[in-house]
Structure 1
Amino acid sequence: MLHAQFRAMYSTPWMSDIVVGTMRWGIWDAKFTTAQYEAMIDKAMSLGMSTFDHADIYGNHTTEAEFGAALKLHPEWRSQIELVTKCGIIHVCDQKPAHYTKAYDFTKAHILQSAEDSLRNLQTDYLDVMLLHRPDLLMDPDEVAEAFELLYSSGKVRSFGVSNFTPSQIKLLQSTVPVGVHQLEISVKDVSAFDDGRLDQCTLDGIVPMAWSPLGGGNLPEGVASVLGSLASEFGVTPQAIALAWLLQHPAGILPVIGTTKAENLEAAQTALNIKLDRQQWYTIYQAATGIRLP
């Protein structure tokens, strides 16, 4: 049963149309200095990209703290941005010597501790959105609700959601708490969310869909690359902008999470907001992505 404290609290958060992903900013890839974190945050904000996507495990549990060090130097930024983070993965790394195998943990204790760690690392007193990162098959929805209630009532987390869940897993969690966000993989390389019920559920239940890896990690199939390239020439933009515009046009309100380490890629992504594909253009991309002609 939906817990009483949440009956009147359905918090669908406001986020920027394009979300900036931080997964590659730290030791997993770019190894940004504090000055580089500052520059990327500032650039994103100047483009209207105010939402930043984190996870506790990024950079082997170091990227949040590096971002937080930059944020501390600009306290005025906090009220101008939205911080999203994820929890629930037991990640094996040197920074967590007690972790000896990959696992998932949605216990009340783990969720609460993860929130406290993220708040401390990001040097903030609240998180705009906290997501359960990957489904925990041992999840007790009542226990999750207890954790969320404590975090919400204390003002430490304003909205909650999930990542990489199936519709039935979301429905189970919705029996005790509202789900405001679902971050899932959607791109021209993975279109399964369009017809497996996940985006339908987002539309029906007012859940904000965030698309991770919205460009499919590059190296697109030749047919897809050709279609995107042709449309890019027609619109005078990059193929990547066309791929993002294709997602943005879906009525579920998909928010792409751009995982770039280069400021110029943020600029290119912003151009997607001004592209309007017609139905035939949209379905040309869809058919190239699926490799199947429409019946």
Structure 2
Amino acid sequence: MPIEAAARTFELSPIVAGLWRITDWQLSVQERLRWIEQAMEMGITSFDHADIYGDYRAESLFGEALNTSPNLRQRMQLVTKCGVRLKSSKRPYRINFYDTDTAYVRAEVEQSLRNLHTEQLDLVLIHRPDYLMDAAALAETFATLTREGKVVNWGVSNHSTSQFALLHQHHPLVTNQLELSPLQMDTLDDGSLDQAQQLGLRPMIWSPLGGGRLFNGEDEQAARVRAEMSAIAARLGISLTTLAFAWVLRHPSRPYPITGTRRIEGLRDAVAALNVRLDPEDWYAIWTACKGHGVP
């Protein structure tokens, strides 16, 4: 598929639900199903997974719930990641390491299909840059799994601009999942979001709340950002969560921010950000609070 066509056909819900912590939620099958249904009722139809989440158990917990109401599958987008071999009781490797060889990527994709009780994955990401990646061979793996109908779209996560470009020249990628928040702004300057705009590919954004540090961080930067954002949120009549998501959404690369909460109210706060457009002064006030200095 030409790069431009891939960009046009790829679409997620404006807010994506992240399932990294689902194993900590301690929900029954029916409670997990209800959570999925409530998210979808809000317009959150895209669900972000990874093979390693929850000690390799997160996908299965979601899939178990989905299997009780399979009609939901046609109205959602399933995203997962692979390429990290995480040392675990289930997989007693000597160390954590990366692997993008054909056999491993295929095995993990097929396991994710089984875990999620689906015949096709809407998007699969290479989770971390693999220094031993053979881009041409990996691209052929992508093409083969796509021809087999097992994966619709491919992307990467946490890749630099050069790493993205290397793989993208061999096979069209549709996104790079990156970290961005009012407390972590490296992607504003490392070229990743510029590259996304250049190619017309919308990035996915993980940890838009700084892993919770925005609310409970005791360091100087977190306190400074929280104070500035609290004042802006009070003036706009929105929650701190909504403001953080609105700050991310304001970027012209049109990112897809990912939530990480089981709280339905937290999902509502994220979705509320779709109706907030920060003016440049408020956006840069948050940037200034993060950096600890004004613009150059």
TM-score, normalised via structure 1 length: 0.94
Please point out which of 54, 67, 71 is paired with 1:76. Answer: 71
Task: Deviation per CA, 1:196-221: give whole Å up to 9, x if none.
Answer: 10000011112221111111012331
Cross-structure match for 1:87: 82
Q: Where do 1:205-244 residues align within 5 Å?
A: 205-220=199-214, 221-244=222-245
- For residue 253 of structure 1, report the CA deviation from its aligned partner: 0.7
- Residue type at the aligned position of 1:109: A
Give, in angstroms, the shift of residue 236 of structure 1. Answer: 1.2
1:179 aligns with 2:179: no
Q: 1:131-189, CA deviations, whole angstroms, 9 ceiling, x for partnerless residues?
A: 00000000000111111011111111000000000001111112211110110111011
Contact in 1 for aligned 2:247/2:278 (Cα 8 Å): yes
- TM-score normalized by the length of structure 2: 0.94
Cα distance, 1:9 vs. partner?
7.6
**Structure 1 unmatched runs, 5+:** 1-5
Give the structure 1 partner of residue 61 of structure 2: 66
Deviation (angstroms), 1:7: 4.2
Which letter maps to 2:48?
D
Using the alignment, how far apart are the partners of 2:74 and 2:194 within structure 1?
A: 32
1:235 to partner: Cα distance = 1.5
1:8 and 1:50 mapped to 2: Cα distance?
24
Matched, 1:42 2:37: yes
User: Does residue 13 of structure 2 align to residue 19 of structure 1?
Assistant: no
1:198 aligned residue (192, 195, 203):
192
The structure 1 segments of at least 4 consecutive aligned residues displaced by more than 6 Å after TM superposition are none
Quote the Cα distance in structure 1 between the aligned partners of 2:85 and 2:26: 23
Deviation at 1:245, TM superposition (A): 0.2
Q: Secondary structure at the match of 2:43?
A: coil
Q: Does 1:110 align with 2:83?
A: no
Asked if residue 166 in structure 1 is aligned to residue 160 in structure 2, the reply is yes
CA contact (8 A) 1:212 1:257 kept: yes
Q: 1:155 aligns with which of 149, 157, 179?
A: 149
CA distance in 2, matches of 1:171, 1:11: 15
Aligned amino acid, residue 30 of structure 1: W
- How much has 1:32 moved relative to structure 2? 2.5
| Equivalent position SS for 1:159 | strand
Asked whether the 8 Å contact 2:145–2:151 carries over to 1, the reply is yes
Q: Would you say the 8 A contact 1:186–1:193 is kept in 2?
A: yes
**Greater per-residue helix proportion:** 2
Change (3 A) 1:8 1:215: closer
> How many residues align structurally?
287
Cα drift, residue 237 of structure 1? 1.2
Q: What CA RMSD, in Å, does the superposition of the two structures yield over aligned residues?
A: 1.2
The one-letter amino acid of 2:14's match is D
Q: For residues 245 and 253 of structure 1, do their structure 2 counterparts lie closer, same or farther at Cα, with a shift above 3 Å needed?
A: same
